């Protein structure tokens, strides 16, 4: 049974998830069940650990109630077993010269995400070097990770990607050993509502 790690580029994934469900709101997912279901569907291996990569909002962006709640939720996932949260940075930059940024006016600033690509590269390659896993599943449609996939495969690791249906992955396919398009039926098995239903049935 393949020892499998799941690496989730959370912001990339959330954007794709929102697009899949638009104009409806995307469901709240159970991030313990999601990787288990992915591994079961992709290779039936043993889930060793999930790594969730998130950008930490800077002090300015923390004034946004939605971003603050997002960060508190994500950082709170650290208490889960076999689950790591790895932080990058989410920074605000002024949109116009000499116009102060105003958190209530999103035309006065834009957001820049830093560190996620590097963190995913370092984490996945370091764990591969120490032979912590046999196969890796990257939950992201980002083509920036292609060099990582090439390197891991050269090290003898199996590399797979899982994306929300609708994401274009044509450029990824030649660089991975397998891929999976996650649709609404799949996500229905991974919602917090479904977890509550399972608990109620016990």
Note the pLDDT tens digit of each residue in 87-96: 999 999 999 9
| Average predicted confidence (pLDDT) for the chain | 92
| pLDDT surpassing 80 at residue 14 | yes
pTM score of the predicted model? 0.91
Burial class (CB in 10 A: 0-12, 13-18, 19+), 50: buried
The span from the CA of 141 to the CA of 177, in Å, is 15
Bridge partner list, 158: 135
Which pLDDT does position 194 carry in this prediction? 57
pLDDT per residue over 117-165, tens digit each? 999 999 999 999 999 999 999 999 999 999 999 999 999 999 999 999 9
Bridge partner list, 89: 56, 114
Domain ranges of the chain: 3-201
Q: Is 139 helix (H, G, I), strand (E, B) or coil?
A: strand
State the fold for domain 3-201.
Answer: Rossmann fold (3.40.50)
The span from the CA of 84 to the CA of 86, in Å, is 6
SS (H, E, C) 15-49: HHHHHHHCCCCCCCECCCHHHHHHHHHHCCCEEEE
Of 187, 138, 199, which Cα lies nearest the Cα of 28?
A: 187
Q: Within a 13 Å sphere around the CA of 159, how many CA atoms are in the beta-carbon half? A: 23
Sorting pLDDT into bands at 50, 70 and 90, what band is 55?
very high
Structure tokens at 63: 């004034």
Contacts of residue 47, Cβ cutoff 8 Å, sequence gap at least 6: 4, 6, 35, 36, 39, 82
Q: Is 181 helix (H, G, I), strand (E, B) or coil?
A: strand
Which pLDDT does position 192 carry in this prediction? 78
Walk across the sheet containing 135-139 and list its strands. Answer: 109-114, 83-94, 46-57, 3-9, 135-139, 158-164, 178-182
């Amino acid at each position: 049974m393949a020892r499998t790690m799941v690496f989730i580029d959370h912001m990339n994934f959330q954007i794709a998830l929102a697009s899949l469900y638009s104009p409806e709101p995307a469901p709240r997912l159970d991030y313990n069940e999601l990787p288990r279901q992915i591994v079961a569907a992709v290779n039936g291996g043993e889930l060793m650990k999930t790594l969730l990569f998130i950008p930490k909002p800077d002090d300015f962006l923390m004034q946004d109630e939605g971003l603050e709640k997002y960060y508190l939720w994500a950082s709170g996932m650290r208490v889960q077993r076999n689950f790591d949260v790895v932080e990058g940075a989410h920074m605000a930059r002024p949109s116009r010269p000499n116009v102060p940024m105003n958190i209530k006016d999103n035309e006065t600033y834009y957001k820049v995400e830093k560190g996620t690509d590097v963190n995913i590269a370092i984490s996945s390659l370091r764990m591969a070097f120490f032979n912590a896993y046999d196969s890796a599943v990257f939950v992201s449609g980002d083509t920036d990770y292609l060099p990582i996939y090439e390197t891991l495969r050269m090290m003898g690791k199996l590399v797979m990607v899982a994306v929300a249906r609708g994401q274009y992955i044509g450029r990824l396919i030649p660089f991975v050993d397998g891929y999976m398009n996650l649709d609404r039926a799949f996500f229905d098995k991974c919602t917090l509502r479904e977890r509550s239903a399972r608990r109620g049935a016990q």
